[in-house]
Structure 1
Amino acid sequence: MNAPLPSSSRKVEDFAAKLGSTIHVRDMPQSTRTAEEAAAACECDVAQIVKSLVFQGATSGTPYLLLVSGKNRVDQDGVAHSIGEALSRPDGRTVRAWTGFAIGGIPPFGHDQPMKTFIDPDLLVYDTVWAAAGTPQAVFSVNPKALAKAVEAVTISMS
């Protein structure tokens, strides 16, 4: 018998249902905090890992969510050009206040505050990608095109 999911992972499942999606959260025995750890745990390529990264508009203070392929580093200047303002990285407390989740377990949806969301086109070439599900050990698989549609993500180059 499986142990019950942590409340933050149940929150992710519940929000997915509100989006019209059914996901199955896997609580892994090892850390999935980094893209490399998640890829090892999920037995997939690191490029199939969705990094949910929160940035802040440097002028407006607006939170932005970037869904980035695990193989990529964010080109902040390029993304800022696409978004229309310079970006900065908020501290962990701010990220948690906006999302309701700690860094390392931030899912692509279900946040306490709605955020404009952007997705890396490199994720869209896969049939399945893996994303965090509320804790640094919980993940779920999803079709990236369905994810992008569900969260109304705008596709922009991240790297």
Structure 2
Amino acid sequence: MSLESVRAFLAEKAPDIAIIELETSTATVALAAEGHGVAPAQIAKTLCLRSGDDTFLVVTRGDARLDNRKAKDAFGAKIRMLGAEEVAALTGHPVGGVCPFGLATPLPVYCDVSLRAFDIVVPAAGAIHAALRIAPERMAAITEARWIDVCRTDDVPPP
């Protein structure tokens, strides 16, 4: 079902983008990077977060970590990650396949500026074995995401 909701979303918003399905799991950044032949940083991981009463998605590069200070400044309160069951219920996607496409519940989407280091990123596509290749700017455009700076990476200096 989740993969189908992503297919329907892409058919409407970006019919030229194909979903890539692998035989093996791509549920972690390391597995996805290996399966798709890219660096872990190029995997676009989607975090489902809550700040106060607000729930939202943040898409960031695979090797980035949420910076608690930046996130608190950006969202006005301490943030926390949601549990797997709540993530699946809200997004319609299983953990490991969570993406900003074809959501079960409309959620605000934010893209971390760390994604802009790449011409193409590889986000999941609603299943633990599915993904797609997309330019970060286009991903932000079709999901109506806002750009924010809430992450840090060990190998990239802060802007």
2:16 pairs with 1:26: no
1:36 partner amino acid:
A
Aligned to 1:121: 113
Q: Deviations over 1:100-153 (max 9, x none)?
A: 111111122211111111112121221211010111111111111111111121
CA shift for structure 1 position 20: 3.8
* Runs of 5+ unmatched residues, structure 1: 1-6
Q: Is the counterpart of residue 44 in structure 1 residue 75 in structure 2? A: no
Q: CA RMSD in A?
A: 1.4
Match of 2:11 among 17, 39, 44: 17
2:103 counterpart of 1:111: yes
1:1-159 → structure 2 map (5 Å cutoff)? 7-57=1-51, 59-60=52-53, 62-157=54-149, 158-159=151-152
TM-score by length of 2: 0.88
* Counterpart residue identity of residue 86, structure 2: T
What TM-score results when the alignment is normalised by the length of structure 1? 0.88
- 1:10, distance to aligned residue in structure 2 (A): 2.5
Paired residues in the alignment total 151
Report the 3-state secondary structure (helix = DSSP H, G, I; strand = E; otherwise coil) of the residue aligned with 2:96. Answer: coil
One-letter amino acid of the structure 2 residue matched with residue 79 of structure 1: A
Which amino acid in the other structure matches residue 70 of structure 2? Answer: G
Separation in structure 2 between the aligned mates of residue 126 and residue 90 of structure 1, nearest angstrom:
28
Q: SS where residue 128 of structure 1 aligns?
A: coil
Aligned residues of 1:49 and 1:130 also touching (Cα < 8 A): yes
Instruction: Give the conservation status (yes or no) of the 8 Å contact 1:9–1:25.
Output: no
- What SS does structure 1 have at the residue aligned with 2:87? helix
User: Percent identical across equivalent pairs?
Assistant: 28
Structure 2 stretches of 5 or more lacking a match? Answer: 153-159
